[in-house]
Amino acid sequence: MKIGLLITYFHPFRDGTENQALYWCSELATKHEVHVFTSDRRGNEILKDKYENYNGLHIHRYKTLFRYKYYLCWNWKLIVDLLKADLDILHVHSLGFVQQDLAVLILKLLKPNLAIVNFPHGPFLANEN
């Protein structure tokens, strides 16, 4: 099975959502092909590698073209690549992030058979970052 994960931040960034997603995806990768779609930056830290195979996880990192506070960010290429990916299922970590919510809407319209599962971590749980 080809599984996608849409998450704002991911390894090597570490917090509750990131840690949970890393452990969970690492287990899935033992039997499935797992692709992670995420940002290449958090705050002032920008990761050089835009693609990484980490413990069997295909991590695709995208430059954030625009970010305002925590929930409003934008990268159209991430959404385009999600549309191109031939996924069996997409796990979305969090809700209330405009880009992720828009990606889910577009995917449901253009790929109605794609199973989408949400793991809500916010916005009701998010901090002020």
Is the pLDDT at 125 greater than 60, yes or no? no
Sequence-ordered alpha helix ranges (H) in the chain: 16-28, 76-84, 98-110
The Cα 35–Cα 81 span in angstroms is: 11
Long-range contacts of 111-115 (CB under 8 A, 24+ apart): 111/83, 114/87, 114/88, 114/89, 114/90, 115/88, 115/89, 115/90
Confidence grade of residue 124 (pLDDT, cut at 50, 70, 90): low
Domains and CATH numbers, the chain: 2-119 (3.40.50.2000)
Q: How far apart are CA 83 and CA 129, in angstroms?
A: 29
Give residue-wise pLDDT tens across range 29-75. 999 999 999 888 777 777 888 899 999 999 999 888 766 666 666 68
In order of 27, 74, 98, 121, the CA distances from 109 in angstroms are: 30, 20, 17, 24
- Bridge-partner residues for 42, per DSSP? 45
Q: Which pLDDT belongs to residue 89?
A: 96
One-letter amino acid for residue 127 of the chain = N
Tell me what pLDDT residue 27 has. Answer: 94
Reported as type and span, the H/E element at residue 89 is: strand 89-93
Residue 107: strand, helix, or coil: helix
